Chain A
Amino acid sequence: MELKMKKIEVLGKKDTRSGFGAGLHELGKKNPNVVGLCADLTGSLKMDAFKEEFPERFFQVGIAEANMMGMAAGMTIGGKIPYTGTFANFSTGRVYDQIRQSIAYSNKNVKIAASHAGLTLGEDGATHQILEDIGMMKMLPNMTVVVPCDYNQTKQATIALADHEGPAYLRFGRPSVPIFTPEDAKFEIGKADVLIEGTDVTIVACGHLVWKAIEAAEQLEAKGISAEVINMHTIKPFDAKAVLDSVSKTKCVVTAEEHMINGGLGDSVAQVLAQNTPTPQEYVGVNDQFGQSGKPDELMTKYGIDTVNVVQACEKVIKRK
């Protein structure tokens, strides 16, 4: 059998949170209105470079996330573009009401930068491994939700959000993962990337699961299955056309995310399909469970969100066509 799939080149390996830090630092240089706020996690969020070079525009708020969200909302009055920084759990669940009223409903130009999202935070365990944040954030009117897949894309997304007027949630993580998007690729909010073209099954993934989807596509090709891989880096606004165009060829879809199945990317895909062209779908995600302590890779396996799970879901959904 001839292998025809486009090979995705790996450019290196880095954590996505460092992409945020690099993007924020670059923004600091080119946009004097960008300010940073952090709730005692400057090193973890990789905000040090911004803090060092622009100390007057960096606000250490201490372990007080509710105050940080309110302050960020208030800072927009007078033209600042605040980026808040803390773990995803403390960026969403802990401060949902503050985000809802002072940022989303008030439609303030705040960028909520959330690190250590999902299971890959690892050993800290379930208290910190939020798997509900995409759902919470996408449910808020006015909120844009972005989940980039690697270092380069996280950096570009960080920069792009400064030019996007309105509240936004930017989700990224802690582990070092392959870099495979071009360094200079301009990030277009709401426009999905088709990374691999295929004809038998569509895989729609976000965040760390995009690389898993690429690995899955390579394994599927060896089995003679042609998978299309879509990097759905923006959950809201949702690129429905990208999904519909793809399933018009493949007639089935697998969604993959480091998030609860309830309320995540998969639900957004299902909504589009149900309203337009009902299509067999399988979900790769965490099924209504809290996480636990462990190494990131062990947890991906344990909770069924690894490459093998994407492969199996594809084989299963193809049979349902």
Chain B
Amino acid sequence: MDTLKLEEFASQVRRDIVRMVAAVSSGHPGGSLGCADFLTVLYQHTMTHNPENFTMDGLNEDIFFLSNGHISPVWYSVLARSGYFNVADLAGFRKLGSPLQGHPSTDKNLPGIRMASGSLGQGLSCALGTAETKKLNGDKALVYTLHGDGELQEGQIWEAAMYAAANKVDNIIATIDYNGRQIDGDCDDVLSLGNLSMKWQAFGWEVLEMDGHNMADIIATLDKAKSMTGQGKPIVIIMKTEMGQGVDYMMGTHKWHGSAPNDEQLASALSQLKETLGDY
């Protein structure tokens, strides 16, 4: 898919995100909008996967873990529009009985999801386990993860980071959504992450950086990351993003991390986001 098509896909994903959270007056639009471009490229260009025949074991398929589960709206939209389940099911987001739980869950068998997430800091460990199983199985496919930058304040992330380098888990590509913001404010004010790139390097990871809103850069960086797998080191991409990307009043602030727009705000957001694939 060319970059124009990817941008059109991502624009529809952004419309889905704001409509989903507005419909139930809850959810996390900020980080979801910021990761729409990345997840679009991952599912539409980078990963080898089989949406029509989802299996929990995902043998010989690339597997993705969303560690910062609160940005479930973007994942649900990308999964649905990649063919994992009906786009119309997005209307069930956060509603009673729907498999589209507030945070991702395997509990109601939503295709595309292999691990619950929401309580932060756990996804990298889970991904490492799957990466080790792939090695035991002789499965050459890769494991991808996404983490919030604020999530890196959780200690378990660094337990996993240490394990991966020490054990040469080189079939994993982790990505950090580096938007610099978390619920209480800027990460620098809440608990500074310091020099992230140097931290990951010091933990023994190959570190790449990319612009999370430039389709060509995302494609190229993910391709480069893939080419670096199998060489004895885990890989992390520090992805610069803007929380709320695509909706002017949600950008430049942490305030839309976990707040939903009202009807008027929704109309304003939708006026800024082109409908490309058709609303659900």
Contacts and interface: CB of A to CB of B under 8 A. Distances in A.
A71 B132 contact: yes
Q: How many residues of A sit at the interface, in one of the four size bands? A: 20 to 34
A105 B107 contact: yes
B128 A101 contact: no
B122 A70 contact: yes
Given A70-B160, A73-B126, A98-B122, A78 B117 contact: no
A244 B137 CA distance: 47
Interface in B98-128: 105-107, 114-119, 121-128
Interface stretch (B41-49, B53-61, B174-182): B53-61
A67 B133 contact: no
A52 interface: no
Contacts of A70: 122-126, 128-129, 156, 160
Interface stretch (A55-63, A115-123, A230-238): A55-63
Given A78-B133, A101-B118, A107-B106, A71 B126 contact: yes
A64 B159 contact: yes
B222 to A, nearest CB: 21
B116 A106 contact: yes
A74 B127 contact: yes
A78 B126 contact: no
B162 interface: yes
A61 B136 contact: no
B106 A74 contact: no
B63, B124, B127, B130, most chain A CB atoms within 10 A: B130
Contact of B114 (A35, A57, A66, A77): A77
Q: How many residues of B sit at the interface, in one of the four size bands? A: 35 or more
Given A77-B129, A78-B59, A71 B136 contact: no
A80 B134 CA distance: 10
Contacts of B116: 101-102, 105-106
B58, B121, B126, B127, most chain A CB atoms within 10 A: B126
Interface of B: 56-59, 63, 65, 105-107, 114-119, 121-134, 136-137, 139, 155-156, 159-160, 162-163, 166-167
21 contacts: A64-B162, A66-B121, A67-B163, A70-B126, A70-B128, A71-B160, A71-B163, A72-B129, A73-B129, A76-B129, A76-B133, A77-B57, A77-B115, A78-B137, A79-B57, A98-B125, A101-B116, A102-B126, A106-B106, A106-B116, A108-B115
For the complex of A and B, list the 10 residue pairs with the smallest distance between their C-beta atoms, beginning with the closest.
A70-B125, A74-B129, A78-B133, A71-B129, A74-B126, A64-B159, A67-B159, A75-B129, A74-B130, A66-B156
